[in-house]
Amino acid sequence: MNWAITTYLLAYGILLGYLIFLSSRIKKLIFKIDRAKR
Amino acid sequence: MKKLVSGFAVMNLLAVGWAVTTALTVWLVMMYAPVDAELGYSQKIFYVHIGSAAAMMIAVLSAFICSILYLVRRNLRADNYAVASAQTAAVVGAIVLITGMMWAKAAWGTFFPLTEVKLLIFLLLWVIFVAYIILRNAIEDSGIKRAGSAVFAVFGFLTMPFVLFINRWAEMPSQLHPTVITAHDSGMEPRMLVTLLCSIVSWLLAGAVLIIVRAKIAEIEQAFETLETK
């Protein structure tokens, strides 16, 4: 049971990590767009 | 710029579908799918492993198609989607590797049996896409960078049929990796099959959303670069 849960946590953890990485890039872009508008 | 920022309707729909199917998959895995008599709970790793593998295959296929499109038409949009697909393939591929290794430890007692040809070819496929990302960041000349990485993605795709079918094409002694689904029979209990199908759908949606988001980011960054050089 623990082994399966660890695996699921790892798999979805990697996915979440990548989503956080992408959202940080989106944040930077939003900042850039705001600056360009001004 | 406005045109780039808009047009997220399809992606939003896919993202909602992804969230719903992921929640459903987790519920099915925990509550609905039966516990395997031989492997016990460790068998449930199989659902996330196959699902993520399906997403990786789609990402590799998408990288191949977009790279060919770029090489033929020099279309920058195709290049953006090729990069997005390659990056998604590398990330999802890491999940396939880790879940596969965890399953292997439970089923075969070792994380990575080096006698398994299928696993070694998969590792090669994953390394090709990791190398793609490194190559992409290492070359400065944008023309060479795009064409070089497109050729790389095509080579990556060529290894995919071997990953999928090597155990069926070549009769090799003592290969452990199971071939669960064949053309005629899934060989699975119906409840397991439903869970697996739901997991595959959720991972395919995840792959599609990640590719679109990453490609949109690349497009907007590119638009900024063009503006800055002007």
Type of residue at B172: M
Q: What is the rounded (10 degree) CA torsion for B90, B97, B95, B100?
A: 160
- pLDDT 10s digits, B30-87: 888 888 877 788 888 989 999 999 999 999 999 999 999 999 998 888 999 999 999 9
Comparing B8 with B221, the larger pLDDT belongs to B221
Q: Residue B36: its pLDDT value, please?
A: 80
Listed range (A22-26, B86-90, B178-182) with the worst mean pLDDT: B178-182
Residue bearing tokens 């909602």:
B16
Q: Do B1 and A36 touch (CB under 8 A)?
A: yes
Mean pLDDT of all residues belonging to chain B: 86
CA distance A4 to chain B (A): 5
- pLDDT 10s digits, B179-199: 665 656 666 788 889 999 999
**What does the alpha-carbon distance between residue B95 and residue B59 come to, in Å, rounded to a whole number?**
13
Query: Given pLDDT bands bounded at 50, 70 and 90, which one contains residue B228?
Result: confident
Distances (CA, A) of B86 to B10, B26, B75, B89, B111: 21, 27, 17, 5, 26
Query: Given pLDDT bands bounded at 50, 70 and 90, which one contains residue B118?
Result: confident
**What does the alpha-carbon distance between residue B30 and residue B47 come to, in Å, rounded to a whole number?**
11
**What does the alpha-carbon distance between residue B80 and residue B114 come to, in Å, rounded to a whole number?**
36
Q: Write down how long chain B is.
A: 230
Report chain A residues touching chain B, CB-CB < 8 A: 1, 3-4, 6-8, 10-11, 14-15, 18, 22, 25-26, 29, 32-33, 36
Q: Residue B213: its pLDDT value, please?
A: 92
When scoring B18, B25, B26, B102 by the number of chain A Cβ atoms within 10 A, the one with the most, hence best to mutate, is: B102
Residue B223 has pLDDT above 90, yes or no: no
Residue B139 has pLDDT above 70, yes or no: yes
What domains lie within chain B, and their CATH numbers?
2-178+185-223 (1.20.120)
CA-nearest of B188, B213, B211 to B50 is B188
Beta-bridge partner residues of B217:
none
Q: Do B1 and A7 touch (CB under 8 A)?
A: no
Indicate the angle between helix axes B76-108 and B190-229, nearest 10 degrees: 140
Q: Do B105 and A3 touch (CB under 8 A)?
A: yes
Q: Give me the total of CB pairs closer than 8 Å, taking one residue from chain A and one from chain B.
A: 59
Beta-bridge partner residues of B36:
B40
For residue B171, which phi and psi values (nearest 5 degrees)? -85, 105
Q: Do B41 and A15 touch (CB under 8 A)?
A: no
Please give the ipTM for the structure prediction.
0.89
Instruction: Give pTM, 2 decimals.
Output: 0.88
**What does the alpha-carbon distance between residue B134 and residue B72 come to, in Å, rounded to a whole number?**
24
For residue B181, which phi and psi values (nearest 5 degrees)? -105, 125
Q: Does B154 touch chain A (CB under 8 A)?
A: no
Sign, CA dihedral B166-B129-B62-B96, equals positive
**What does the alpha-carbon distance between residue B83 and residue B66 come to, in Å, rounded to a whole number?**
9
Q: Do B217 and A18 touch (CB under 8 A)?
A: no
Percent of chain B scoring above 90 in pLDDT? 47
